[in-house]
Amino acid sequence: MTTLRTFQNEIEEIHTREVARQRLAAAALTLDPDKTHDKGKGKTVKAKTIAQDNTTNTLTTSAVRTAIEDELDSLQDLLISPATSAYVTARDLLSSTLTRNRGEVLVRLGSHPPKEALYNNLALDAIEGRRGSPITQLDLDKATSRLKEVVEDLGGVVTRLFVANEPPRSHHLVRLPPASVSQVPEVRCAVVGNVDSGKSTTLGVLSRGALDDGRGRARVGLFRHKHEVESGRTSSVGMEILGFSTSGQPVLPASQATGAGAEANPVAIGRREKLGWEEIAENSAKMISFIDLAGHERYLKITLYGMTSGAPDAVILMVGANAGLIGMSKEHLAIALALGVPVCVVISKIDMTPPNVLEETIKQVTKILKSPGCRKTPVFINSPEVAVEVSQAFAAERICPIFQVSNVTGQGLDLLRTFLNLLSSSEGDQSKFASDQPLEYSITEVWSVPYVGVVVNGILNSGSVKAGDSVLLGPDSNGGWMVTSVKSIHRKRHLVPSADAGQCVSFALKRVRRAAIRKGMVLITRTETPPRTVRQFEGQVLILYHNTTLQRNYQAMLHCGAIRQTVRIVGMDNPNGVLRTGDRATVQFEFISNPEYLKEGMKLLFREGKTKGLGVITKLL
């Protein structure tokens, strides 16, 4: 039997290899044919050179952050130095790092304790191996003042996140205001958890700023359907955004709606307390998009679709302190681990939970995170310094931050906001979203808007697009492609002229009927030869759970990016012809309804009832 951790490493290697091969092929196709006709040799050599350059420039977000931290080690001495040239050097250094890190960088001043000491809540004054150079309190004040002058000279804002006296040290957030809404970085967070764990309530409090009344007032503005308001349960993929200004403050309504009628019509009150997405986008230097997913077992397919199609940068697992990690919470945690998405835990309702029950919940969560199936290091966020450090190492290291919050008293919400404000967006991560590749846009939502026409929402997996571009839409039920064009582009309901890889945007399309579009279709660059669509494909899979055996002709629901369709097993390389829990095999699948646009290296997840399997596409048949 193959362990999940080993299999995840193998499919990650397959994914990385196939992506590199596809980028090499795309680079070869974009070459000028007039310069590459010498028996194909020049074309191959130049294509390899381009691919090598792309590989060199394809750095993950964590690698870029590490390189920037190394460069900023000399900034403290430059800020303290009385030399005139030191000011210019510090300004040039900050300008360079801000440009490469999308207008945001974290500056540390003084000697900071090791991460392990912060994570394990050890005594910080007697720890060896500190990071950074020691500094006196006088020099710290001087460096802070000089840093503010340098940043203001660059047109940015510096915000002090944390300061300590023993030994003197501080964290500062340096951020430049974005030139337009299209350049505001976005972090996508999927919010999951069991029924009544506080998902919608927490999002309502975070996005509106007003605390909950203990009876669900904060959540009613997030519901999309009447039955959700009546039952209090989310049954669809909701979306909520939280903006942070250049100074790092949350973008919230100027005043909260109060007065007569609040108890009589909580839905209206909840909506009045909410800023429009256009206002949030215009006043934000960073946006956090929360994908509010259903907690009930009945809506597991919706939760799965939201986690696979939304390409989240992080998963927020909500746990009710009074109930613990029960029911679908364990299921959602397993799905997040299978997809390889970083997880943080938010324990809610601590104001109404007895201390002994809260302690038992914390022990249970810690035990599950440390179990062989998770292998996560739980880190309790109890200070701004820990929140800052964990936010920088959250995705790169196997750590799981744990927050304890109350939506009624507001306890712990400031630490959670600090953590969210500092999370890195994957939009600039070339290893995930290649901006130098041809356009590929996955459709996750479809609407018909009066006086506008068909509008689709989705994520740019690669490339870029401008309003007016001609594109191919498909595949249809026969595997064909249709020509259309992008009339307009909206990002968070704000009109933008263009969109780049990694961004979640909406397109208004020309000459297309609503009935001709379904979720899972893609928009790609218009070419003379449309790409191939497939009905059958082969993949390496691992059966996570099945109560009996899987055989040929077994049907399950497949989730692969924005694709959600029933597939049938038509073959497998297992000598016995059956698969059980923990078995790994090469399996041939066939789509039941429509052909789809797939690429080798794409990760897949299939389920049917409690049966679950994880895999990667290795061959198109």
3-state secondary structure 484-496: EEEEEEEECCEEE
**Identity of the amino acid at 314:** A
Q: Answer yes or no: are the C-beta atoms of 495 and 547 closer than 8 Å.
A: no
| CA-derived radius of gyration, the chain | 25
Secondary structure E strands in 431-554: 440-449, 453-462, 464-466, 470-474, 482-491, 494-496, 498-500, 504-509, 522-525, 536-545
Which residues fall within 8 angstroms of residue 600, CB to CB, at 6 or more apart? 18, 21, 22, 617, 618, 619, 620
Using a 10 angstrom Cβ sphere, with 0-12 exposed, 13-18 middle and 19 or more buried, the burial of residue 18 is: middle
Residue 361 tokens read as 């919940």
Beta bridge mates, 454:
448
Taken as a whole, the chain contains a residue count of: 621
State how far the Cα of 166 lies from the Cα of 143, in Å rounded to an integer: 17
> Would you state the pLDDT for residue 536?
96
Spatial distance between the Cα atoms of 542 and 585, rounded to a whole number of angstroms: 7
Domain with CATH 3.40.50.300 in the chain: 181-422
- Picking from 143, 138, 133, the residue whose alpha carbon sits closest to that of residue 94 is 143
pLDDT at position 367:
94
Q: Where in the chain is the domain with CATH 2.40.30.10?
A: 440-525, 536-620
The domain 536-620: what is its CATH number? 2.40.30.10
In the prediction, which pLDDT does 329 show? 87
Residue 366 to residue 379: CA distance in whole angstroms? 9
| Lookup: tokens for 137 | 């309190």
Report which of 502, 510, 503, 454 is spatially closest to residue 482, judged by C-alpha positions. 510
Domain 440-525 part of CATH 2.40.30.10: yes
φ, ψ for residue 289, nearest 5 deg: -100, 115
Give the model's pLDDT for residue 334.
87
Provide CB contacts within 8 A for 540, sequence distance 6+: 10, 11, 14, 584, 585, 586, 615, 616, 618
Give CA angle at 367 (366, 373), nearest 5°.
110
Using one digit for the tens of pLDDT, what is the confidence trace for 279-323?
899 999 999 999 888 777 777 888 888 888 888 999 999 999 998
Instruction: Quick: pLDDT tens for 454-510.
Output: 999 999 999 999 999 999 999 999 999 999 999 999 999 899 999 999 999 999 999
What is residue 567's predicted lDDT score, i.e. its pLDDT? 97
Looking up tokens 């989240």 gives: 312
Sign of CA dihedral 580, 582, 587, 591: positive
Class of domain 181-422: alpha beta
Look at residues 74, 28, 79 and name the one whose alpha carbon lies nearest to residue 51.
Answer: 28
Range list of H helices, 411-469 = 413-422
Best CA proximity match to 502, nearest among 465, 527, 454, 475: 465
Q: How far apart are CA 588 and CA 582, in angstroms?
A: 18
Cα(23)–Cα(281) distance, integer angstroms: 33
Segments of the chain with pLDDT less than 70: 1-2, 29-67, 70, 122-129, 214-237, 254-274
